[in-house]
Amino acid sequence: MKSKTMITVLVEDHGTKPKLGTEHGLAIWIEAGDHHVLFDTGQTDLLLTNAMALGVDLTQTDAIVLSHGHYDHTGGLAAVLDMAPQARVFMHPEATEPKFSLKDSGTHSVGMPEQARQALKGRRVTWTATPAIVCPGISVTGQVPRSNPWENVGSNFYLDQSCSRPDTLPDDQSLWIETEQGISVVLGCAHAGVLNTLRYVAGLTGTQTFHTVVGGMHLLHALPERIRQTEATLKTYHLHCLAPGHCTGEYVMEQWSQIFNACYSPCFAGAKITL
Ligand SMILES: [Zn+2]
Ligand SMILES: [Zn+2]
């Protein structure tokens, strides 16, 4: 029998286990047979201590996939590359662009920290504008077509400090994992839209259902109609496990924990999902 694929959430905004720290960020560890993939690196070096507490050996990392260039997904990159210099990094070419967020409090730089940019120098990087195989059974989407134009990036993101050039986050990408149970999808922030992402993976793989969908869905500022539409379409995929976290939004997570009931699984630091 083939060994199971295990997903462990290393870093997330929420946590229930006293030994694990939390921060606004995401890092997910995937073990598929002999292959070890780190999807995102959180905001700081927190993933190192959380990984140790969870018995995850980051020196075994074969591949690091960055979902996009935001600081809360790339902040731990330098620390992980120090531990696992052999790891191949998969990222979209535009992930390293300067990135800004406009809020009531002003403009904030939200791109990849300089330390992470420096750490990429001389590394094995696969630039994923298009889909790529990360390891047997695990692939990355590369840039996701925006077939639902109403699935916007979810916040006021720009490429310049004066906020004149909107950032459409072309670098946003997700993973899909193929197991005997079906196709599962791991999302970073899903700035491309969770439905756009699932539709794209469905088209690439020929699947009409998904086993597990886990990660950030960036619906925290979404209008009710978008949330309703997302909910309705998610139902058509007959999910076995829905585990939204990070930037999905507290309101949406609370609602969906009831609506999706048995298949809902909270996504917090230390959560494990078996595929
Ligand atoms: Zn983001
Ligand atoms: Zn995020």
pLDDT score of 17: 83
For residue range 27-80, list pLDDT tens digits in order: 999 999 999 999 999 999 999 999 999 999 999 999 999 999 999 999 999 999
- For residue 224, report the distance from its CA to the centre of ligand 2, in Å: 21
Number of domains in the chain: 1
Ligand index nearest the alpha carbon of residue 192: 1
Q: Angle 101-169-31 (CA atoms, 0-180°, nearest 5)?
A: 110
Name residue, tokens 């591949």. Answer: 63
- Reported as a pLDDT band with limits 50, 70 and 90, residue 3 is confident
CATH number for the domain that contains residue 255: 3.60.15.10
How many residues in the chain? 275
Residue 109 scores a pLDDT above 70: yes
Range of the domain at 11: 5-274
Given a cut of 60, is residue 154 above it in pLDDT? Answer: yes
Which tokens hold the place of 97?
């662009």
Pick the closest to residue 188 from 44, 34, 74, 48 (CA basis): 74
Residues 76-104: what's their mean pLDDT?
A: 97
Matching residue, tokens 């630091």: 269
Share of the chain above pLDDT 70, in %: 99
The residues that bridge with 191 in the sheet, in sequence order, are: none
Say if CB 76 and CB 48 are below 8 A apart.
yes
**Arithmetic mean of pLDDT over the chain:** 96
Q: What is the mean pLDDT of residues 20-25?
A: 97
Q: What is the pLDDT of residue 37?
A: 98
* Helix 224-236 / helix 194-205 crossing angle, nearest 10 deg: 20
Work out the average pLDDT over 93-116.
97
Q: Compute the distance from residue 42 Cα to the ligand 2 centre, in Å.
A: 9
Q: Does residue 208 carry a pLDDT above 70?
A: yes
Alpha carbon of 55 to ligand 2 centroid (Å)? 25
Q: Which residues are within 8 A (CB) of 250 and not within 5 positions of it... i.e. 6 or more apart?
A: 220
What is the average per-residue pLDDT within 215-233?
Answer: 96
Distance from residue 65's CA to the centre of ligand 2 (Å): 14
Residue 2 has pLDDT above 70, yes or no: no
Count other Cβ atoms within 10 Å, centred on residue 262.
7
